[in-house]
Amino acid sequence: MKKLIMTFLLIITASAANAGSNQVSEVKFKPEQIAKFAKDVEKYAASKGARAFIISRVGQPKSKLPKGIDFTHTAIAVYSEITLSDGEKVKGYAIHNLYQSEKNSGKSSLITDYPVDFFWGAHELKAGIIIPTPELQQKIIEVIASGKNKSLHNPKYSLVANPFNYRYQNCTEHTLNVINAAIYQTTDMKQLKANTKAYFEPQRVHVSRFKLSLGSMFADGITTKDHSGKVKTASFGTIAKYLTKYQLATPAYVFEA
Amino acid sequence: MKTLSYLSCVAVLLTTFNSMAEPGSEHSGKASKHSALAVSHGTVGSAQVASAAVAVPLVVVGSVALSAGAASVEAGEKLSAVSSSSASKVTHTQPVELEVTEITITVDRSPAEAMKGNQ
């Protein structure tokens, strides 16, 4: 009986350590498959003239995702002049992400990577793409190029962060903050959150609050402290609905290999 | 037995969070990723793999003014056919296809990993 209890304790500890955005440890596709898919996504966006777009990926099997959530990580891709390590300059997309810290899953940082990095550990070669209107693209680029996106970052991470306040933040909420900062031309977080509350409809997280609260006892990076009532968070799908509702983007497109 | 039931429940609950979680930063895998890409590209022809040092957003001429160094200005397509700011409608021209390099770009390796690669 003692051995059984110890085994369970080990399982719980291991699960708690992994309950959050972790370093990619398993690559499911061949490098050339990932590279081709990543380049195809770039070319698709480029064919649409997208200078900035919202991009998402699938990090887990669909069967394991809560109802209503189709993608597990969302970021903003920006058409850029990229200087390579040998000094050559080329054109392509750089992706601006909020990632959980490897060493502390309760913290996050803003990291720029590139399409092949973005899709390296994906569970499916599938991308969610939202292309904002050209005017909104330009404003999003300005927010990022000026560094204002950094002031919209809250490093206190929660997987199910409430987008209506700024106590915790996840990748999708940060993406939404950048979009709204572009729309409203402000980085005043109180104003942005008031506008978010007025116009944005988040995704209900179909996991009971009890389970989430219990999980927060064992794992950093998950909390319900920023929620009252039902737990709701920003998602790729809700950002797509938000932008299309206000005619600020074409309907979301799912690009598959 | 009650303790066992309790621990079973917690273990099951925590695996739920694992499946919602999202692999995030990939810094410690950079060197092996770069190598894997280089090897794979070597077998499929002339496609290249390169590490990126910096990326600067490209904006069109006449768009929002940005501070020097914050973005690169690219002569290219215009956002719309409207020249007057008093116009009430904006005509969206056909989007112009953008140029994308064929090179597979990945984040640069950490200095430690780069040193290992140079030995």
In a domain, A81, yes or no: yes
The whole domain housing A201 covers 24-256
- Report residue A73 as tokens: 């990580």
Q: Is A150 on the interface with B (CB under 8 A)?
A: no
In angstroms, rounded to a whole number, what is the distance separating the alpha carbons of residues A163 and A197?
8
In angstroms, rounded to a whole number, what is the distance separating the alpha carbons of residues B64 and A96?
20
Q: Is B86 on the interface with A (CB under 8 A)?
A: no
Task: Give me the phi and psi of B69, to 5 degrees please.
Answer: 90, -15
> What's the one-letter identity of residue A30?
K
Q: Where are the alpha helices (DSSP H) in A48-170?
A: 115-118, 134-145, 148-151
Q: Does position B75 have pLDDT exceeding 60, yes or no?
A: no
Contact A134 B50 (CB under 8 A): no
Q: Tokens 């950048």 correspond to what residue?
A: A178
In angstroms, rounded to a whole number, what is the distance separating the alpha carbons of residues B81 and B60?
14
Distance from the Cα of B116 to chain A's closest Cα (Å) equals 16
Report, as an integer, the average pLDDT of B85-111. 71
In angstroms, rounded to a whole number, what is the distance separating the alpha carbons of residues A218 and A215?
5
Cβ-contact B99, B36 below 8 angstroms: no
In a domain, B17, yes or no: no
Distance from the Cα of A194 to chain B's closest Cα (Å) equals 26
Would you state the pLDDT for residue A235? 97
In angstroms, rounded to a whole number, what is the distance separating the alpha carbons of residues A229 and A209?
9
ipTM score of complex: 0.85
Tell me which H or E stretch contains A126: strand A126-130
Q: Tokens 């206000």 correspond to what residue?
A: A246
Q: Is B48 on the interface with A (CB under 8 A)?
A: no
Would you state the pLDDT for residue A137? 97
In angstroms, rounded to a whole number, what is the distance separating the alpha carbons of residues A40 and A126?
11
- Report residue A156 as tokens: 């206190």
- pTM score above 0.80: yes
- Report residue B33 as tokens: 């990723």
Distance of alpha carbon A214 from its chain centroid, rounded?
A: 24
pLDDT in tens, chain A (257 residues): 766 655 544 444 444 434 334 335 478 999 999 999 999 999 999 999 999 999 999 999 888 888 889 999 999 999 999 999 889 999 999 999 999 998 899 999 999 999 999 999 999 999 999 999 999 999 999 999 999 999 999 999 999 999 999 999 999 999 999 999 999 999 999 999 999 999 999 999 988 777 777 777 777 888 989 999 899 999 999 999 999 999 999 999 999 99
Half-sphere exposure of A5 (CA within 13 A, CB side): 7
In a domain, B52, yes or no: yes
In a domain, A36, yes or no: yes
Total domains in the fold of chain A: 1
The whole domain housing B102 covers 28-61+70-75+93-119
Contact B104 A35 (CB under 8 A): yes
B93, B100, B110, B118: best to mutate for the A interface, most A CBs within 10 A: B100
Instruction: Write the DSSP assignment of A226-238 as a string of letters.
Output: T-SSS-EE--HHH
In a domain, B45, yes or no: yes
In a domain, B115, yes or no: yes
In a domain, B106, yes or no: yes
Residue pLDDT, tens place only, B76-91: 433 332 333 333 344 4
Q: Is B110 on the interface with A (CB under 8 A)?
A: no
Contact B70 A146 (CB under 8 A): yes
> What's the one-letter identity of residue B30?
K
Residue pLDDT, tens place only, A64-84: 888 889 999 999 999 999 999
Total domains in the fold of chain B: 1
* pLDDT band with cut points at 50, 70 and 90 for residue B93: low
